[in-house]
Amino acid sequence: MKRKFLIFAMFLFAFSMGYAVNGNEEFLKANNFLEQKKYKEAEKYFFEALKKGNPNAYNALGYLYYVQGNFEKAEYYFLKDLNTITDEEEKKIVKYNLAFLYVKQNKEEKAEKILRSIKNDDIFVYYFLEDMYYKNADYKNALKYSKKALEKGNKFSINDIVIISNKSKKLDNEVMELVKQEYEKGNIYAYGFYGLIIKNTNLKRRRKNLQIRN
């Protein structure tokens, strides 16, 4: 089951590096070196941008250390950024970056904690957690968060619910009823699954009837 949140998380890194105020010249130089994978030069200019008060330098340094595999320093600068900014939308971006970093280190509990602190019940939190637990074969929690995503209005999540349930061999009546409900609501992602459920139900009835006759 492929998810798009990893691409989204990387986009957040790039997005946060696209804006600058003070130290703009140094910041852009650093970003250019970063794109060329000239990390020493990038580090130098990000620190110069930071000295001049560039508001995005902390997050950029976090990403710089992340791509080099220095997760301790990456966490340090992401947390510095998180403690510096006040805007909730900007905080959300940094929290996603931190969660991505924690997942990379198999620190799922820390990832969930930072994600659960995001205000307004953001739907991407559920995507992220669902994928994290699915990859760890924790299908119970993966199913829990895919259902929450569905409740938040993500129609495609019915697809994930069926896949996770099937993977865990727990495609039970509750899940089948959920598929039926989504089908009746006009959720196009439930159509194919609903057809399979009807077909499977009819097949079971036929087998049962044959057993009774025999």
Could you give the count of Cα atoms lying within 13 Å of 111 in the half-sphere of its Cβ?
A: 21
Per the structure, the complete domain to which residue 39 belongs is given by: 1-113
In 23-87, alpha helices (H): 24-35, 39-51, 57-67, 71-84
Q: What is the CATH number of the domain that holds 171?
A: 1.25.40
Amino acid 212: pLDDT: 52
Domain count, the chain: 2
Model pTM above 0.85: no
Amino acid at 131: D
| Better-scored residue on pLDDT, 17 or 62 | 62
Domain boundary among 91, 113, 135: 113
Which of these, 93, 121, 123, 104, lies nearest to 11 by C-alpha position? Answer: 93
* Residue range 154-174, pLDDT digits in tens: 888 888 888 888 887 776 778
Amino acid 10: pLDDT: 47
Residue 72 CA to residue 69 CA, distance in Å, equals: 9
Domain boundary among 113, 139, 159: 113
Position 11 confidence tier, pLDDT thresholds 50, 70, 90: very low
